[in-house]
Amino acid sequence: MFIGEISQLTGASPKAIRHYESLGLLGKVTRAGSYRVYSGNDVRQVSLIRQAQTLGFRLSELRVVLQGDSNEPDWEGLSQQIEHKRESIKNEIDRLRILDAQLDRINLEIRSCPGGGQSIGEACDVVPALPTVKTS
């Protein structure tokens, strides 16, 4: 099949498919003259790439597990990448929970001021501590 058909089947633009090929994510794509000829395996590979991108993976992360002469992804490596991504997400969730708690505490300090925090500088001696959360 030609690039237009694989594009329709996967939802990836022809430009994206050519980019995946240039990065080595599709392996060796055969040619008929100046046209690229894609296989069912290429459809599967492009679909896998698009799904991974939807889940937050960058192409550079996928290159390690999809690049190579084999028509089969490195499933063990892909599984490790998924676990690494999940750990990053858990860390981000923890960071955001801490930030939320800090913001809640500051808001409570502001609201405990006389006048409900409407004129903090004049009616309240409390200076809320602003959150200091790392943005990795």
CATH number of 18's domain: 1.10.1660.10
Strands (E), 1-136: 30-32, 35-37
Tokens standing for 29? 């794509």
- 39 Cα distance to chain centroid: 27
| Degrees to nearest 5, angle at CA 131 with 98 and 133 | 60
From residue 116, alpha-carbon distances to 85, 127, 128 in Å are 43, 14, 14
From first to last of its 136 residues, what are the pLDDT tens digits of the chain? Answer: 999 999 999 999 999 999 999 998 887 888 999 899 999 989 999 999 999 999 999 999 888 888 766 667 888 988 999 999 999 999 999 999 999 999 999 888 888 876 655 555 555 655 555 666 666 5
Query: The pTM is what?
Result: 0.70
Q: Do 3 and 65 share a structural domain? A: yes
Q: Do 108 and 68 share a structural domain? A: no
Domain that holds residue 55: 1-73
Tokens standing for 47? 């679909």
